[in-house]
Each structure stands twice: as structure tokens, then as C-alpha cells.
Amino acid sequence: MNFAMVSRLILKDWYLQRWTLLSALAAGVVTLGIIATGSKAAFMLGVILLVTVIIAFGAMIATSTLIEERKQQTLSFVMSLPISYREYTASKILGNLLIYLVPWLPLVLGSIALLMLSPKSQGLIPFTAIMSVEMMVGTCMVVAVALISESQGWTIGAIMVGNLALNGIGYWVAHIPSIAKGLEGSSIQWTPAASMLLLGEFAAIVLLLGFTFFCQSRKRDFL
């Protein structure tokens, strides 16, 4: 694999998305500040805004680095470089995930830290961890669809499906007896169900990325 070329393509996407990334970080810090005020209304508003920021950022980078590249006809230039389909796919997947992790990781850790500092809210930590990883699963799905289909319509559809799935899965997870029991608790109650859900989510990420590489390997024309 041409690691030098893959790295350059990743750095190119990072450079083009730098302002979007910084904006997402700034917006996320503001939402954490709202949550930290302590009131119930502020908590609910902050959580909604935080989820919106994370989901919107993932959708924006996937659309900008994948769909817009074809619409602006820069893909033909990229594929004229000494790079294979596997290297191009690797650069796009790694680039998108690394960019996404920059705001995702500190915002998730910040949310968990705020819950840890509030004795009455520590029971929400398992649910928060599960739903945070679920947002990453949704972003991986959007990246996979955008990369495979190269279609704005299909990508928008994937974004909508991911948002609806997040709401449905959140409702389902919150009503799993062993997890629901700890939501109102003042201490962390990590259960086997929570561990299985997290393992399932990480497995879904691996499968999505593996499926993307498989589909890309079947293509005969990238232009």
C-alpha cells in the first residue's frame, strides 16, 4: 500500500474540513456548558444540541469529502494519481473516521465527566456510552453509503435512516430492564446487556467498513 499517498489524501481532507471541525468543537463545548449549568431544562436542551452537533458533523464531512468530490469533478484528478482503489477507499474511510473522532471523543468524554461529577446522574453513564457509539455506527453507515453509491440522494437517505434508527434504538435501549433499572440510579450500574450492546455496535462498525471495502473492490470504474 502507498502509505505516503494515503496520508496525503487524508491530510487534504483534514485541511479542507478544518473550519467545519473547529466549528463542531466550539458548538460542542457550548452545549457542554449548557448542560453544566445544572438545571433540568438546560440539561435536556444541552443533550439535544449535543446530539445534533455530533450527528450533523458526521453527515457534513461524509457529504463534503465524498459526494462533493465527485460533483466538483475532482475525483478524476485523485484517481489519476498513483493510487489504487483500495488506497483511495482506505484514505476516505480513515480520513472521515479520524476527523469525526476529533470532536466525538472529547465531547463524549466531557459528557461522561459531567455525569460523573453529578452524583444523581451517574446511572446515565452506560446509556450515554451506548448511544454515543451508536452515533458513530450511524456515521460509519453514512460514509459507507456515500462511498459505495457516490449518490447524494442515497447519502441523504442514509442520514435520515440513521437519525430515525438512533431514536428507535435509544427508546429500545432505555427500556431494556437491566439498563432501565439503572437510569435513575445515583451510581454506575454496568450490566452484561450494556456490554453486549457495545460489542454489537463495534462489530457493526467493523462489518460496515469491511462491506465497504468489498463493494469498492468490485467496482471497475471510479470515474
Listed residue (102, 126, 121) closest to 54, CA to CA: 102
Percent of the chain residues past pLDDT 70, beyond the cut: 91
- Of 20-24, 183-187, 188-192, the poorest mean pLDDT is in 183-187
- pLDDT above 90: percentage of residues in the chain: 38
| pTM of the complete model | 0.89
Extract the C-alpha cell encoding 119.
Answer: 452524583
- Mean pLDDT across the stretch 9-37? 88
Where does the pLDDT of residue 80 fall: very low under 50, low under 70, confident under 90, or very high at 90 and above?
low
Q: Is pLDDT above 90 for 185?
A: no
For the segment 86-140, what is each residue's pLDDT rounded down to a tens digit? 788 888 899 999 999 999 999 999 989 988 887 777 888 889 999 999 999 999 9
How many whole angstroms separate alpha carbon 104 and alpha carbon 138?
13
Residue 66 pLDDT greater than 70, yes or no: yes
pLDDT the model gives residue 166: 92
- Give the residue-averaged pLDDT of 200-211: 94
The reported pLDDT for the residue numbered 76 is: 61
Q: Using CA atoms, how far apart are residues 10 and 73, in angstroms rounded to an integer?
A: 18
Q: What is the pLDDT of residue 12?
A: 84
Write b or e for each residue in 183-199: b if 16 or more Cβ atoms lie within 10 A of its Cβ, otherwise e. Answer: eeeeebbeeeebeebbe
3-state SS, residue 168: helix
C-alpha–C-alpha distance, residues 34 and 37, integer Å: 6
| Residue whose C-alpha cell is 480513515 | 94
pLDDT level of residue 221 (50, 70, 90 thresholds): low
Which pLDDT band holds residue 189 (cuts at 50, 70, 90)?
confident
Overall average pLDDT of the 1-26 stretch: 84
